[in-house]
Structure 1
Amino acid sequence: MQFRAMFKNGPIVSLLIGVAVLAFPAQGAFAAEGLLTSVKELRAPVAQGGREPSLSTMYDGRVLMSWTEPKGSGFAVKVAISDGSGWSAAQTIVEADDLFVNWADFPSAIALEDGSLVVHWLRANGDDDYFYDINIAFSQDEGVTWSTPIIPHDDRSQRQHGFATLLPNEGGGFSVIWLDGQSYDTYASQDVADNAMQLRMRKFSADSSMGEDLLLDARTCTCCQTSAAVTGDNELLVVYRDRSLEEIRDISIVRETSQGWSTPQPVSVDGWNIEGCPVNGPAIDTVDGNAAVAWFTAANDFPKVKVAFSSDDGITFAKALEIDTSAPSGRVDVIQLKDGSALVTWVKQTAQGEAILICAVKPQEGCVRPEVVAISPSGRTVGFPRMTLGNGGVFIAWTEPTNPSVTQPRGGTTIRTVLARTEELK
């Protein structure tokens, strides 16, 4: 069993804020008329110890959630579906003692055009804590039964393969993008260009046959999440944290066109020089020719959450907007809205505890009215909150630290999900 401990001791009292008015240093008071016009709790069908939720929207507007929870001496990966009124019963994809379970690199699930589900998870492939492979399985009956898992990467070395993004393609197939450690040796010289994690991708057709394992960038940051979106012209955009020989780790984008893949280009030049991975990936979303990218940077030791907008399907981006400069923690997600604005979530430490914030960011105004979704006052982490737009509004999910109990004397986790409405969705 591979598991990296990540929570500190301490009691937890969960606080769901919704439209409350709060003030934070250097950020200003929240407006009295809140962004979230309603917040509805959706009780997640997870067992004690559930963690690392991931969300995606199905073609009919329902929302698919995947997560990990303890099972015997190992773990299980599960999925459930919501129509906005609640969640379906949980369906188990895999149970095993050798799953790689980590707070930052976790399973995800998507639905294809024909309604079939695709899920990825991580399985240990060696004795080192960070030797693992990506596994992918398919379901034709909304998670009741699953295919034999396959590995999407050609490399079978005992190295890291993870931080995967799944994305449906036109024509019923899907793409998988991941970080691949086939050339990365942490014990070798770090100033050699090819000693680094790689960004790779592979397409699957509607019949699940695999295309070529493609290299998109030969030198990337080690352990930041990837993110991808499809443009109106069905071109694939991938954003990730890059890594130069000078250890500048800014956000880059690559684009699939009819002529092939573009060379990596910076979304914004932050100039963040950092010797190790910050474990803090970007997020991208697109709609109607517009694209928004959100990310965290701490260039010049000044932590910020930033957003950049594109009005030409991600070919060019306007100057990045700084939406939180009061020492945020990052861990962002983004939804591009039809009116050109974007919903952005991120995490920050506050006097009240670790807070999940949300804001409607406008290209000309930036983030005017940030709002708190929830606070974990225990000092333990909410992980990487995820959100998606589905039937009824915006679904938000996060890992929720829980109080100590007889079975978990140090405190445990569960998963919290809410369905929120905003003014921007009216």
Structure 2
Amino acid sequence: MTRSTIYRSIAIALAVVLLPVIGFLAWQHTRQLTQTRHQAFTFEQHPRSLGINAKRPIVAATVAGGLYLLSVEDSALTLRMSHDGGEHWMPPTTLSSPGSSVTTSAENAPQLAARGMYAFALWQQRNGDEGTQLLVARSSGMGGQPPVATVITDKPATDKSYAGFATLAVAPNGDVYAAWLDGRDNTSASTGTFNVYLARSTDHGATFHRNVKVATLACPCCRPSVAIAADGKVYVAYRHVYGDNERDIAVSSSTDHGEHFGPPVRVADDHWKLFGCPESGPVAAVQGSKLIVAWYTAAGRRPGIRLTASHDGGQTFSKEISVSDGIEGANHPYLSMADDGTIAVVFSGRQATEHGDWNSITPFAFRIDTRGRISATTRVPTDTSGERHPTASLSADGDLYVVWSGMDGTQASLIRGVTK
């Protein structure tokens, strides 16, 4: 037997073994979403007080097991890091400019994303009479000199149009994307809507490329969401105002890393008519080849959190699934995805009672595994009623860290849920 014949035989044998495996993995990532009764997390009995008066805290886990905590304290944006699961924290680093005021209202609060050992923070700040700015900063959380913040909008100094309700995402290749609501060149201002804009950084947040208009007719107080596929396709989900004030979720897609976007696709036919902004935007992520979107709607008889997926690059979407049945006032979803594609979503709400009593506002959580199986929604234990915007992060080992502040926007708390 010749050497070439041997190599050919080995190649054939490897193909016979590997092709079914590759096919199975591809099939696994394209499966439809299915609901289960499985409880995904076992939470600690009581949350841990972080001992700080922090507004709108956000947590992000690193691949090495560390935790970042971003929060606003006395109008300044601070970043902390923990190496022991939140038991102890390093001294904070201030990210915002001295004397500035960082926005914490509703959907316009700061955002945080972690990739590798770095944290990327995005926020809106006001500097006296100079108006507002959208800024991004990268930090290792190791102290030293504060990181340099970069303005992401490319408007001339004379343009005082609005920019806010920004979101942040880090692509698999490390590129940083930001999307926000923008009032420049707004030909639909009479409708009370904004445009959606996007900017991309290819140098880890040091600079940003030109601003790109993604879509028009965006609901003016609902934060958009950015999701990036491994092949570089970019999705921006936002709340679009259709016709006579129907405020439904739409997705615009780009196949050239966010340089150009196609027309928006309606995610679900909620036909939610509302003469005002609900202040509740969608969240999105790419799991394998699936684009997953979660959002709030009050359309129909069961207001709450909905979930859907697209298997064809955002062109069509599966029938929406309700994931908040039995929970009163379910709203403000927040999504975290681990490197293996596992997704966790948290939101706020009140546990319903048999007698219709009002329970405290608490976080709730569910998981979507890489096979598209949706766990049962679990109430996160709390000691006091929290505010409406919990955030969470999945660690590399599958644990879920959830953080929130009290009803007065202070006294931040953290809890860990272990994967079952």
Same fold (TM over 0.5): yes
Partner of residue 118, structure 1 = 120
Equivalents in 1 of 2:277, 2:220: separation in Å?
6
Report the AA paired with residue 328 of structure 1: G
- Whether the 8 Å CA contact 2:344–2:394 is kept in 1: the answer is no
Secondary structure at the counterpart of residue 104 of structure 1: helix
**Distance verdict in 2 for CA 1:368–1:41, change over 3 Å:** closer
- Deviating more after overlay: 281-290 vs 213-222: 281-290
Partner of residue 29, structure 2 = none
Per-residue CA deviation, residues 178-226 of structure 1 (Å, 9 max, x unaligned), is 111235699x733xxxx62111001112162321110000220111122
Q: Measure how far apart 1:274 and its partner are.
A: 0.9
- Whether the 8 Å CA contact 2:68–2:119 is kept in 1: the answer is no
1:182 to 159, 180, 184: 184
- Whether the 8 Å CA contact 2:99–2:127 is kept in 1: the answer is no
Report the AA paired with residue 112 of structure 2: A
- Whether the 8 Å CA contact 1:220–1:241 is kept in 2: the answer is yes
Equivalents in 2 of 1:147, 1:213: separation in Å?
23
Report the AA paired with residue 373 of structure 1: V
Structure 1 gaps of 5+ residues are: 1-30, 402-410
- Whether the 8 Å CA contact 2:47–2:383 is kept in 1: the answer is no
Partner of residue 223, structure 2 = 225
**Pair 1:396-2:396 in alignment:** no
Partner of residue 37, structure 1 = 42
Partner of residue 310, structure 1 = 310
**Distance verdict in 2 for CA 1:218–1:347, change over 3 Å:** same
Higher Cα radius of gyration: 2
Report the AA paired with residue 160 of structure 2: Q
Secondary structure at the counterpart of residue 78 of structure 1: strand
Equivalents in 1 of 2:405, 2:388: separation in Å?
6
Report the AA paired with residue 201 of structure 2: F
Report the AA paired with residue 280 of structure 2: N
**Distance verdict in 2 for CA 1:377–1:111, change over 3 Å:** closer
- Whether the 8 Å CA contact 2:227–2:236 is kept in 1: the answer is yes
Q: Measure how far apart 1:421 and its partner are.
A: 1.4
TM-score w.r.t. the length of structure 1 is 0.75
Structure 2 gaps of 5+ residues are: 1-36, 352-357
Q: Measure how far apart 1:61 and its partner are.
A: 5.0
Equivalents in 2 of 1:172, 1:368: separation in Å?
30
Q: Measure how far apart 1:91 and its partner are.
A: 2.1
- Deviating more after overlay: 388-397 vs 411-420: 411-420
- Whether the 8 Å CA contact 2:67–2:85 is kept in 1: the answer is no
Q: Measure how far apart 1:290 and its partner are.
A: 2.9
- Whether the 8 Å CA contact 2:282–2:294 is kept in 1: the answer is yes
Partner of residue 104, structure 2 = 101
- Deviating more after overlay: 295-304 vs 355-364: 355-364
Per-residue CA deviation, residues 347-400 of structure 1 (Å, 9 max, x unaligned), is 22342211222234689998673321035765xx52311112114411111122
2:211 to 210, 213, 227: 213
**Distance verdict in 2 for CA 1:83–1:391, change over 3 Å:** farther
Secondary structure at the counterpart of residue 272 of structure 2: coil
Equivalents in 1 of 2:367, 2:174: separation in Å?
32
TM-score w.r.t. the length of structure 2 is 0.76
**Distance verdict in 2 for CA 1:371–1:173, change over 3 Å:** closer
Equivalents in 1 of 2:380, 2:335: separation in Å?
15
Per-residue CA deviation, residues 66-92 of structure 1 (Å, 9 max, x unaligned), is 11111xxxx211112344532531222
**Distance verdict in 2 for CA 1:180–1:412, change over 3 Å:** closer
Equivalents in 1 of 2:361, 2:236: separation in Å?
29
- Whether the 8 Å CA contact 1:288–1:338 is kept in 2: the answer is no
Equivalents in 2 of 1:203, 1:301: separation in Å?
40
Q: Measure how far apart 1:272 and its partner are.
A: 0.7
**Pair 1:52-2:56 in alignment:** yes
Alignment of 1:140-155 (within 5 A): 142-155=142-155
Structure with the higher helix share, 1 or 2? 2
- Whether the 8 Å CA contact 1:108–1:119 is kept in 2: the answer is yes
1:243 to 237, 241, 244: 241
Q: Measure how far apart 1:170 and its partner are.
A: 5.0
Equivalents in 2 of 1:364, 1:204: separation in Å?
32
Partner of residue 419, structure 1 = 416
RMSD: 3.5
Report the AA paired with residue 396 of structure 1: V
Per-residue CA deviation, residues 49-78 of structure 1 (Å, 9 max, x unaligned), is x110223343545332211111xxxx2111
Secondary structure at the counterpart of residue 88 of structure 1: coil
Alignment of 1:16-415 (within 5 A): 34-39=39-44, 43=48, 45=50, 47-48=52-53, 50-60=54-64, 62-70=66-74, 75-83=75-83, 85-86=85-86, 87-89=88-90, 90-94=92-96, 95-112=98-115, 115-124=117-126, 132-139=132-139, 142-155=142-155, 156=157, 157-183=159-185, 189-190=190-191, 196-206=193-203, 208-258=206-256, 260-300=260-300, 302-312=302-312, 314-326=314-326, 327-335=328-336, 342-350=343-351, 351-360=358-367, 369-375=376-382, 381-392=386-397, 393-401=399-407, 413-415=410-412
- Deviating more after overlay: 171-180 vs 150-159: 150-159
Report the AA paired with residue 121 of structure 1: W
Paired-residue identity, %: 21
Q: Measure how far apart 1:275 and its partner are.
A: 1.3
Secondary structure at the counterpart of residue 359 of structure 1: strand
